[in-house]
Amino acid sequence: MKKTSTRLADGRELVYYDSRDDAVRDAVDQRPLDPVATASEVRHDELLGDHVAIASHRQARTYHPPADECPLCPSRDGRHSEIPDSDYDVAVFENRFPSLAGDSGRCEVVCFTSDHDASFADLTEEQAALVLEAWTDRTAELAELPGVEQVFCFENRGAEIGVTLGHPHGQIYGYPFTTPRTALMQRTAADHHEKTGRNLFDDLVERERAAGTRVVLETDHWVAFVPYAAHWPYEVHLYPTRRVPDLRALEDPARTEFPQVYLELLRRFDRIFGEGEPPTPYIAAWHQAPFGDARREEFALHLELFTIRRTSGKLKFLAGSESGMSVFINDVPPEAAARRLREVASA
């Protein structure tokens, strides 16, 4: 992998990740951009104990542009985008409309491919491996920034999820705090260790492997399963078989095997609802240990992949119980979801 760092016209960082060591990235951003002015502010909710990012400048962000005006495509034929070069493998840049900025963290955009009409599932294993390298490198870089406590790499796919740019891409957030979901995992893991002397993540994975009914696929270095108490209609958790706290600690055999496993999961998601159905909307979320946690080595890196589509043409909306009380109601039994995901395995 070759990494090339440069700056956009308004001073934001842009990083190219290339599979070829001889790749040259010297194109200059020709746009007459003013310096980025953000109004991002993180406020603490005293009642719930969590944080809310207030980012009014995001109201002006690009919203469903036509394909020939996509800001994530390469700059070609006199049209200038966020990527000055005429082609790229993987590109990462600071978000022009960040939810978190300055002392309140950092937001980056990850472009998986220059092909506007592709999706992550269309990537080759070599391309997927390069994205994994980019995620890992960005985790390492953001870990060194003052005030960043946790790094979150994720992808939103599909208009139903709320995606406003159709180009295949994801995002990376550097939070200045530990997110509520992670903090809850830490508390339950600490309680489990106090009661049993064992690691909660290890026990969960081993129980799923032993039961087998919710396992979707398993290889030498990865295991994917639908959790016993899945919140979403089709939800898969992917763990390396050897527990590590974050992407930086992932061992080479698991790195080598990841592209095959992850691409297979994504392709199965697109086959859940049968032929002729539109691509399945999903969120893919990496869970990594916060940097300031004294017990971070006990946390387990894992990826959670889920869709809000519950059946053909119908979405799972968060209504009163979910949005008002955070009590999820799932219409699809996890065992049935796992069975369907096994049925649509690649031949």
Tens digit of pLDDT for each residue in 233-278?
A: 999 999 999 999 999 999 999 999 999 999 999 999 999 999 889 9
User: What would the two tokens of residue 87 be?
Assistant: 């082609």
Whether 64 is catalytic: no
217 shares a domain with 143: no
**pLDDT at 219 (0 to 100):** 98
Closest CA to 135 of 120, 154, 116, 121: 154
Going by the DSSP 8-state scheme, the letter that residue 229 receives in this structure is: T
Tell which of 153, 175, 197 closes a domain.
175
Catalytic pick among 167, 169, 221, 237: 169
Which residue in the block uniquely carries the two structure tokens 């960005």? Answer: 138
Domain match, 165 and 208 both: no
* pLDDT for 39: 73
One domain, residues 191 and 275: yes
Q: Could you state, in chain order, the average pLDDT of each consecutive group of 10 residues for the chain (347 residues)? A: 96 97 95 84 92 80 78 94 97 94 93 97 98 98 95 96 94 97 96 98 98 97 98 98 98 98 98 93 98 92 97 94 95 98 93
For 251, counting Cβ atoms within 10 Å of its Cβ (0-12 exposed, 13-18 middle, 19+ buried), the class is exposed
What domain range is 142 assigned to?
A: 2-175
Residues 25 and 97 in one domain: yes
Could you tell me if 226 and 306 lie in one domain? Answer: yes
- Cα-Cα end-to-end distance for the chain: 31
72 plus 32 within the same structural domain: yes
The span from the CA of 107 to the CA of 29, in Å, is 20
- 132, 156, 175 — which closes off a domain? 175
Q: Do 114 and 233 have their domain in common? A: no
Q: Which letter, b or e, does each residue of 27-44 get, where b requires 16 or more Cβ atoms within 10 Å of its Cβ?
A: bebeeeeeebebebebee
187 and 166, same domain (yes or no): no
Q: Residue 71 and residue 61: Cα distance in Å, rounded?
A: 11
CATH of the domain at 309: 3.30.428.10
> What sign for the dihedral angle of Cα 288, 293, 296, 298?
negative
For residue 134, give the nearest of 15, 51, 243, 259 by alpha carbon. 15
CA-to-CA distance for 318 and 329, rounded, in angstroms? 9
- Contact between residue 341 and residue 216 where contact means Cβ atoms under 8 Å apart: yes
Token output for 165: 């740019």
The pLDDT assigned to 60 comes to 62
pLDDT of residue 276: 86
